[in-house]
Amino acid sequence: MEISKTQSEVKNLQLNKKKSTIYDKVTHLYLQEKHLLKIPKLSHSHELQTLYLYSNNITKIENLDGFTSLTSLYLQGNKIEKIENLNDLHKLKKLYLGKNQIGVLEGLECIDALEELHIEKQNLIHNTPLCFDPRTIISISQTLQVLNVSHNNICSLQFLAPLENLTVIDASCNDLDDIKDVCKTLRNWFYLKEAKFSGNPISKKHRYREDIIANTYHLNLLDNKSISDLNRCFIRRFEEGKLICKTKPSINIADVVPGLPKNYPTTLQKAASASIMKEFRCRQLEDLTAFDDAEPVYLSWNLLPKRKPLVAPPSQSLLRGHKMESQKNILVSKSTIKVRKHF
């Protein structure tokens, strides 16, 4: 009997060893849609790379200590309120936290290799916007490439400016209404290739697409519409021309110097002002020394003849009457010529 017991114990130990070795080789663990209330305590697997926990009822991130080889973590569709307890996930590259109740993007300072972060559609009360911890943004700024913050009532992107290696940004369906603020942030993202801003107030503004393209470097896709190199080059040159025109002085001397005639068109007045300013190198409104009464700067302009008032053209009835009378005179002259020939 004792020999049989020892044999059974040995068999159980062998089975347990086999199970442990099998579990140690698991790279993907599927625990999604299991109605879980919390993350179960799992024995440490050094080869576990992907953990699926989405579409459960999990309220807290926990029991993930020791999973040093984990690269992908799927936690979307739960009831998580805070990002925490991720200190051992140094190799994590993809983190999915969409459709939770997270109010602040934080707690990612210990993750050294994060490349994708999906934190869209947070179910927050009173439509409060998603906030960003500056320490977290700076800690992931060198590695993060893909960011999804859509449907989060965000009003500005300035807190995301340090993410200098971003290639894909999805900020659609937020409250972005300042195109200048968005463009200022976009100029920090040199490697950006895809962007989504549809569903924001800025997408309804005039020349929204042109402004976005002009302030990016390698953008190939905007709101799921491709951007050609020819289109990008044309828009950049157009915007550069606008900047050059803005730097040129636009002063109307007639508004500065009294006594000049103002009955000429504003375009003519500005053209004459620009020529005088170019000749005398006057670029500021306060510099009126070039327009002294003793100088003949504006005399030629002042001595221009005043415009004559426009005379209303004759009506069509008068023109028709004039034509009829001219035709009658021609007929009369022809009849007199015939009568003279007859005599």
Task: Taking residues 220-232, report their average pLDDT.
Answer: 89
pLDDT digits (tens, 9 = 90+) for 31-69: 999 999 999 988 766 789 999 999 999 999 999 988 889
What's the pLDDT score for residue 296?
Answer: 42
Higher pLDDT, 147 or 281: 147
The phi and psi torsions of 73 (rounded to 5 degrees) equal: -130, 120
What's the pLDDT score for residue 277?
Answer: 63
**Nearest-angstrom CA–CA distance, 51 and 71:** 9
| Tokens 């940004």, residue located | 169
Contact call for residues 86 and 65 (beta carbons, < 8 A): no
Q: Would you call 165 exposed, middle or buried from its count of C-beta atoms within 10 A (0-12, 13-18, 19+)?
A: middle
pLDDT digits (tens, 9 = 90+) for 297-323: 444 555 555 556 656 555 555 555 555
| Tokens 């008032």, residue located | 309
What's the pLDDT score for residue 271?
Answer: 73
Comparing 144-158, 190-204, 288-302, which segment has the lowest mean pLDDT? 288-302
Task: Write down the H helix ranges in the chain.
Answer: 2-24, 134-139, 179-186, 208-214, 229-247, 266-280, 299-302, 316-342
Quickly state the pLDDT bin for 229 (edges 50, 70, 90): confident
**Nearest-angstrom CA–CA distance, 122 and 149:** 9
Q: Which amino acid makes up residue 341? A: K
The domain 23-245: what is its CATH number? 3.80.10.10
Comparing 3-7, 44-48, 265-269, which segment has the lowest mean pLDDT? 3-7
Report residue 196 as tokens. Answer: 């989504």
| Region at 31 (left for phi over 0; alpha for psi -120 to 50; beta for the rest) | alpha
Task: Taking residues 163-167, report their average pLDDT.
Answer: 96
- 217: which residues sit within 8 A by CB, 6+ positions away? 190, 191, 192
pLDDT digits (tens, 9 = 90+) for 82-131: 999 999 899 999 999 999 999 999 999 999 999 999 999 999 998 899 99
Comparing 59-63, 157-161, 193-197, 331-335, which segment has the lowest mean pLDDT? 331-335
Q: What percent of the chain is modeled with pLDDT above 90?
A: 50
Is residue 181's pLDDT more than 80? yes
DSSP string computed for 164-213: TT-SEEE--SS----HHHHHHHHTT-TT--EEE-TTSGGGGSTTHHHHHH
